[in-house]
Amino acid sequence: MKQKLEEINSSVEELLKNSTELDSLEEIRIKYLGKKGELTAVLKGMGALSAEERPVIGALANEIRDFLSSEIDSKKKELEEKLQNENLVKEVIDVTMPGNKKEIGKLHPLTTVLNELKDIFIGLGFEIAEGPEVEYDYYNFEALNIPKNHPARDTQDTFYIEDNIVLRTQTSPMQVRVMEKQKPPIRIIAPGVVYRSDAVDATHSPVFNQIEGLVVDKGITMADLKGTLEACMKAIYGNSTVVRFRPHHFPFTEPSAELDVACFVCGGKGCRICKGEGWIEVLGCGMVHPKVLANCGIDPEVYSGFAFGIGLERLVMRKYGIDDLRLFFENDLKFLKQF
C-alpha cells in the first residue's frame, strides 16, 4: 500500500510538470484526489492492515494528499498568471489613440417643423392641447355634426375597435373636448397622430400627423381665419409663399375651405406630386358650425369661431422639397441625415 501511495505521488508530480492548461489540472485533481479518486481507493483498503501499520500508512496518505493539493494549487496559480500576462499582451490598449466617434442624434424633420409651428401659434396666443388617439364615436363623429350615415363613418375610411370606439380619424375631437371644459375665449392647437384607412402612396398614409386649431370668441370672422393661416404659411415657407383658399365642405364647419400651397416640385405647372393641378392641399378649415358650438354648451348667437386641421407631413414635404411621404416612416439614415 505504501508503494501504491508513492506511485500516485510520482504520477501526479509528472503530470503537473507537463500540464499547461487549467482544465487539465482539474482533471488531475479529480482523478487522484477526488471522492472516487485513486488515493481514496487506496485508503479504503486500510482495513486489511494491522494495528501497527494503519497509523503509519494513514500519516503517509495525509502527507501525500496535502503535498499534492499544494502542488496543484501552486501550478494553478502559475498557469493563471501566465494566462493573464498573455491576455494583457494581446489586449494592450493605446490610451493615446482617439476614441470612436459617437453619432449624435438629430430631430426628425416632422418634429422640427412641428416645433416651429408650436412656436408660431404660441406667439399668436394659442395654447397646446392633447387628447386620446383611441376615441369615442361621439367625439370623433357625432359631436362634430357628422351623422350616422356619413361616408366618413364607413369602415373603408375608419379603423373601428368597437362599435362606438375608433382610432381617431382627425384631431378635430379636441375641439369638442376643449369646449366642453373651457368657455370662450379659446385659442388652442392640438397636434397628434391620426389614422385613416388609406392606401399608401407618395402623398397618403394610413398613419399621419395632424394639428387641429380652434379659436372661439365674440366677433370671430372668416377674415381672422384667413389672416391667421396666411401668417402661419409665410412664417414656415417665407413671405413669397403663394396660397389659395378653395371652397369645400366639412360637417363641423360652415362655411368651409381647403388651403393649398403652390406645388414645391413644379412651381404650379403640374406634375405627378400635385396630380397635374399645380397645388398641394395642406389643410382644411372653416368657421365652427353653430351646432358644434351648441353641442358643447356655447351659445352660437353670442360666440363664433374658426377651426383648421393641418397635415404636418404635407407641410414638411413642401418645406424641404420631399416628393414622397413614405420617406418619413422608413427610418432611412441616408434620408434623415440630410436634416
3-state SS, the chain, equals CHHHHHHHHHHHHHHHHHCCCHHHHHHHHHHHHCCCCHHHHHHHHHHHCCCCHHHHHHHHHHHHHHHHHHHHHHHHHHHHHHHHHHHHHHCCCCCCCCCCCCCCCCCCHHHHHHHHHHHHHHHCCCEECCCCCEEEHHHHCHHHCCCCCCHHHCCCCCCEEECCEEECCCCCHHHHHHHHHCCCCEEEEEEEEEECCCCCCCCCCCEEEEEEEEEEECCCCHHHHHHHHHHHHHHHHCCCCCEEEEEEEECCEEEEEEEEEECCCCCCCCCCCCCCCCEEEEEEEEEECHHHHHHCCCCCCCCEEEEEEEEHHHHHHHHHCCCCHHHHCCCCHHHHCCC
- End-to-end, the C-alpha distance of the chain in Å comes to 86
- Give the pLDDT score at 32: 65
The arrangement of strands across the sheet holding 186-195 comes to 127-128, 186-195, 207-217, 304-311, 279-288, 253-262, 243-250
Model pTM?
Answer: 0.66
Grid cell of 246 as nine digits: 378653395
Strand partners, 284: 258, 309
The residue with greater pLDDT, 5 or 168, is 168
- Quick one: which of 307, 328, 117 has its CA closest to 204? 328
- Give the pLDDT score at 331: 87
Task: With a cut of 90, say whether residue 199 has pLDDT above it.
Answer: no
Determine if the peptide bond prior to 191 is cis (ω within 30°): no
Grid cell of 65 as nine digits: 494528499
The residue with greater pLDDT, 139 or 30, is 139
Q: What CATH topology corresponds to 109-336? A: BirA Bifunctional Protein; domain 2 (3.30.930)
* Mean pLDDT score, 163-189: 93
- Rounded distance between C-alpha atoms, residue 192 and residue 187, angstroms: 17
Grid cell of 57 as nine digits: 500508512
Amino acid occupying residue 159:
F
Task: With a cut of 90, say whether residue 190 has pLDDT above it.
Answer: yes
- Give the pLDDT score at 57: 65
Task: With a cut of 70, say whether residue 2 has pLDDT above it.
Answer: no
Per-residue CA distances from 266 to 88, 272, 288 (Å): 64, 9, 34
Q: pLDDT tens, 283-318? A: 999 999 999 999 999 999 999 999 999 989 988 988
Task: With a cut of 90, say whether residue 29 has pLDDT above it.
Answer: no
Domain boundaries, the chain: 2-90, 109-336
Mean pLDDT of the chain: 84
- Give the pLDDT score at 48: 62
Q: pLDDT tens, 320-333? A: 888 889 999 988 88
Task: With a cut of 70, say whether residue 220 has pLDDT above it.
Answer: yes
Q: pLDDT tens, 58-111? A: 676 667 677 777 777 777 788 788 888 888 788 777 788 888 888 788 899 999
If pLDDT is split at 50, 70 and 90, which confidence band does 253 have?
A: very high
- Give the pLDDT score at 66: 72
Grid cell of 159 as nine digits: 379603423
